[in-house]
């Protein structure tokens, strides 16, 4: 199967498995999504979804957020990890949104990436999920699967994102990045992985990975 056929197999399989695609992080608008994505760094989405209702009950907009102190924010988000950095980021970006953007989340990669604690991946998630702009945020699942599927060399997430954007049609990016995340969690996890369940890797995966997994059986 050539690369084009492998890419099409991925698209078809994911569409079949996930005809409707839930967004993993609970949110109600661009601001709450931005905060949830920021909190998800090195933290599970499940944990984030447990913490955000507590935070958003006190402040679900930048105006209410800056009424709280960094210390208060830190106490609430502590279970998400990296709370000193994240609390400063949330407080700082809320101020900037008010001062520079009329309290609204900006709709550009550049403006988002200028906000404290907001990197390229966080900006990409917000642009794709809040504003519908084609983007391909690469998390650990996508990075792992693109390598397993022999669609990227796995050197770094920057390269993986370039490969994903080059191989997959632009109009499918926003759906695909979510579908791959769900697939990675359910069928192709980092640990406790069963090749039998993982139809995509089993069909188009890197030969060395398939051989390695076959030995483990």
Task: Report pLDDT digits (tens) over 44-91.
Answer: 999 999 999 999 999 999 999 999 999 999 999 999 999 999 999 999
* Predicted local confidence at residue 213, as pLDDT: 80
Q: What is the largest CA-CA distance in the chain?
A: 59
Exactly one of 74, 86, 121, 163 is catalytic; name it: 121
Angle between helices 30-39 and 120-129 (to 10 degrees): 150
Look at the alpha carbons of 20, 24, 27, 29 in this order and tell me if their dihedral is positive or negative.
negative
Annotated domain spans of the chain: 3-20+137-215, 30-131
- Provide the token pair at 209: 């990975």
- Give the mean pLDDT of 106-110: 97
Does the domain at residues 3-20+137-215 carry the CATH identifier 1.10.1670.10? yes
**Confidence category of residue 123, pLDDT binned at 50, 70, 90:** very high
**What DSSP character marks residue 117?**
T
**Confidence category of residue 217, pLDDT binned at 50, 70, 90:** low
DSSP three-state, residue 184: helix
Question: In the annotation, is 211 catalytic?
Answer: no
Question: In the annotation, is 121 catalytic?
Answer: yes
Exactly one of 139, 162, 163, 197 is catalytic; name it: 139
pLDDT tops 80 at residue 215: no
Cα angle for residues 17, 22, 24 (degrees, 5° grid): 115
Task: Assign a CATH topology to domain 30-131.
Answer: Endonuclease III; domain 1 (1.10.340)
DSSP string, 52-72: HHHHHHH-SSHHHHTTS-HHH
Computed over every residue of the chain, the mean pLDDT equals 96
Residues contacting 44, CB < 8 A, separation 6+: none
* Predicted local confidence at residue 216, as pLDDT: 63
The reply to whether 3-20+137-215 and 30-131 are identical in fold is no
pLDDT digits (tens, 9 = 90+) for 147-203: 999 999 988 999 999 999 999 999 999 999 999 999 999 999 999 899 999 999 999
């Amino acid at each position: 199967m050539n690369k084009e056929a492998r890419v099409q197999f991925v698209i078809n399989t994911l569409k079949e498995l996930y005809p409707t695609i839930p967004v993993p992080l609970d949110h109600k608008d661009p601001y709450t999504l931005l905060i949830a994505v920021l909190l998800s760094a090195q933290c599970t989405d499940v944990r984030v979804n447990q913490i955000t209702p507590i935070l958003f009950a006190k402040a679900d907009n930048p105006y209410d957020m800056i009424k709280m102190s960094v210390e208060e924010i830190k106490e609430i988000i502590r279970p998400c990890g990296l709370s000193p950095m994240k609390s400063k980021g949330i407080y700082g970006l809320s101020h900037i949104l008010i001062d520079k953007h009329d309290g609204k989340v900006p709709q550009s990669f550049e403006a988002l990436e200028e906000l404290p604690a907001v990197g390229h991946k966080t900006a990409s998630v917000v642009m794709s999920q809040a504003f519908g702009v084609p983007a391909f945020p690469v998390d650990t699942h996508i990075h792992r699967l693109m390598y397993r599927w022999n669609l990227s060399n796995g050197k770094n997430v920057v390269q993986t994102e370039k490969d994903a954007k080059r191989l997959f049609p632009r109009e499918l990016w926003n759906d695909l990045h979510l579908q791959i995340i769900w697939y990675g969690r359910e069928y192709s996890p980092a640990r406790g992985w069963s090749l039998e369940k993982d139809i995509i890797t089993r069909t188009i995966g890197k030969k060395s990975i398939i051989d390695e997994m076959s030995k483990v059986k």
